[in-house]
């Protein structure tokens, strides 16, 4: 006798495919739109210092360099980790759980590994793009699950990179296709007087959380012999 173990937290089963993930993302976005919008607004507010410092940077070389460096550090230590919190909120929605503003604070539970993961992934992808772009795109796809693993599973940075590499086996092409689909979605958002870009960003974020959830559920569901 065999027992099918299902670790999913909602009744929505869908394959880890581009169309299915964008469809699930749109469904979750329509259900939790106000919650997502509030989370995005808070992240935008926290990102204001980065925009201001980038503007001040244009006022002169010495002053501009100092403010530009401070802006980079602020972005690296504050807005960068917050993006991981956003990913966690969208992952909760993909699982059928209600996202909340307090989900942004989830990053504090594994903060330094998030910082390190962000740094290492940036370096790895940069090196890949230096090597004629295509390796960079491949590496970007293989590291797509890192942010979910360090926040949700509280993995250390190196383990999250290794786990993402393994989890994306068989899904890298799907992740690439989802990235391509994001381009016309963002263009459509820009054409809608620019306001639609927020909706586009939330939809894409929800879709990528959905591919991680689908791949994770598929990986954890296995046939085991009954005792």
> Residue 3 domain-assigned?
no
**Enclosing domain of residue 145:** 17-219
pLDDT at 4 over 60: no
The structure's pTM equals: 0.85
> Residue 85 domain-assigned?
yes
* Domain count across the chain: 1
> Residue 171 domain-assigned?
yes
Cα-based angle 70, 76, 80 (whole degrees, multiple of 5): 135
Contact 26, 210 (CB under 8 A): no
> Residue 181 domain-assigned?
yes
> Residue 10 domain-assigned?
no
> Residue 4 domain-assigned?
no
29-to-3, 83, 209 alpha-carbon distances in Å: 33, 17, 12
pLDDT at 160 over 80: yes
> Residue 126 domain-assigned?
yes
Q: How many CB atoms lie within 10 A of CB 90?
A: 29
Average predicted confidence (pLDDT) for the chain: 86
Residue spans of beta strands (DSSP E) within 64-116: none
> Residue 6 domain-assigned?
no
pLDDT at 9 over 80: no
């Amino acid at each position: 006798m065999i027992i099918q173990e299902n670790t999913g937290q909602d009744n929505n089963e869908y394959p880890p495919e581009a169309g299915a993930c964008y469809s699930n993302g749109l469904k979750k976005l329509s259900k939790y739109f106000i919650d997502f919008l509030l989370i995005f607004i808070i992240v935008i507010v926290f990102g204001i210092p980065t925009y201001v410092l980038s503007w001040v940077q244009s006022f002169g070389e010495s002053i501009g360099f100092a403010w530009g460096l401070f802006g980079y550090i602020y972005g690296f230590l504050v807005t960068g980790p917050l993006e991981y919190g956003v990913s966690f909120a969208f992952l909760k929605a993909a699982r059928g759980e209600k996202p909340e503003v307090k989900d942004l604070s989830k990053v504090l539970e594994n903060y330094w590994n998030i910082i390190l993961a962000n740094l290492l992934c940036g370096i790895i992808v940069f090196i890949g793009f230096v090597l004629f772009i295509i390796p960079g795109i491949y590496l970007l796809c293989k590291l797509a699950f890192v942010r979910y693993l360090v926040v949700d599973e509280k993995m250390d940075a190196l383990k999250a990179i290794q786990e993402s590499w393994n989890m994306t086996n068989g899904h890298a092409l799907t992740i690439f296709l989802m990235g391509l689909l994001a381009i016309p979605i963002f263009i459509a958002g820009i054409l809608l007087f620019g306001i639609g870009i927020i909706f586009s960003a939330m939809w894409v974020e929800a879709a990528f959380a959905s591919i991680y959830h689908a791949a994770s559920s598929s990986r954890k569901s296995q046939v085991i012999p009954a005792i």
